Amino acid sequence: MEHYSMNLTLKVWKQKNKNDKGGFETYQVKGISSEMSFLEMFDVLNEQLIAEGKEPIAFDHDCREGICGMCSMYINGRAHGPWHQTTTCQLHMREYKDGDTIVVEPWRANAFPVIKDLVVDRQSFDRIIQAGGYISVNTGNAVDANALPIEKQKADESFAAAACIGCGACVAACPNASAMLFVSAKVSHLALLPQGDPERKTRATNMIQQMDKEGFGNCTNIGACEAECPKGISLENIARLNREYIGSVFSGSGTGNL
Partner 1 sequence: MNWKQAFTSSIGKKLVMSLTGIFLITFLIVHCYINAQIFWMDGGVKFTEAGHFMATNPVIRFVEIGLFVLLFLHIIQGLMLWSQNKSKRNTRYAVSAGNHTSKWYSRSMGLLGTLILLFLCMHLYHFWIPNRYQQTFGSGEIDLFGKMQAVFSNPAVVVVYVLGCIALGYHLVHGFYSAFQTLGLGTHRYKKMIRNIGIAFSIIVPLIFALMPIGFMANLIH
| Chain residues in the site for ligand HEM (CB under 6 A) | 220-221
Give the list of residues 6+ apart from residue 100 with CB closer than 8 angstroms, or none: 6, 8, 9
Q: Which is nearer to ligand FES, 89 or 161 (CB)?
A: 89
- Minimum CB distance to partner 1 smaller for 89 or for 180: 180
Q: Between 116 and 189, name the residue whose CB sits nearer to ligand SF4.
A: 189
Q: Tell me the residue nearest to ligand HEM as measured from the CB.
A: 220
Radius of gyration of the chain, Cα coordinates, nearest whole angstrom: 21
Q: Identify which of residues 41 and 235 has a Cβ nearer to ligand HEM in the complex.
A: 235
Is 36 a binder of ligand FES (CB under 6 A)? no
Residue 10 sits in the site that holds ligand SF4 (CB under 6 A): no
Of the ranges 84-92, 131-139, 205-213, 240-248, which one interacts with ligand FES (CB under 6 A)?
84-92
Who contacts 247 (Cβ-Cβ below 8 Å, separation ≥6)? 200, 201, 204
CB burial string 200-235: b at 16+ within 10 A, e below:
bbbbbbbbbbbbeebebbebeeeebbbebbbbebbb
Q: How far apart are CA 237 and CA 18, in angstroms?
A: 33
Q: Which of 93, 229, 238, 241 binds ligand SF4 (CB under 6 A)?
A: 229
Kindly list the residues in this chain that would bind ligand SF4 in the complex (CB under 6 A): 69, 164-170, 181-182, 185, 229-231, 233
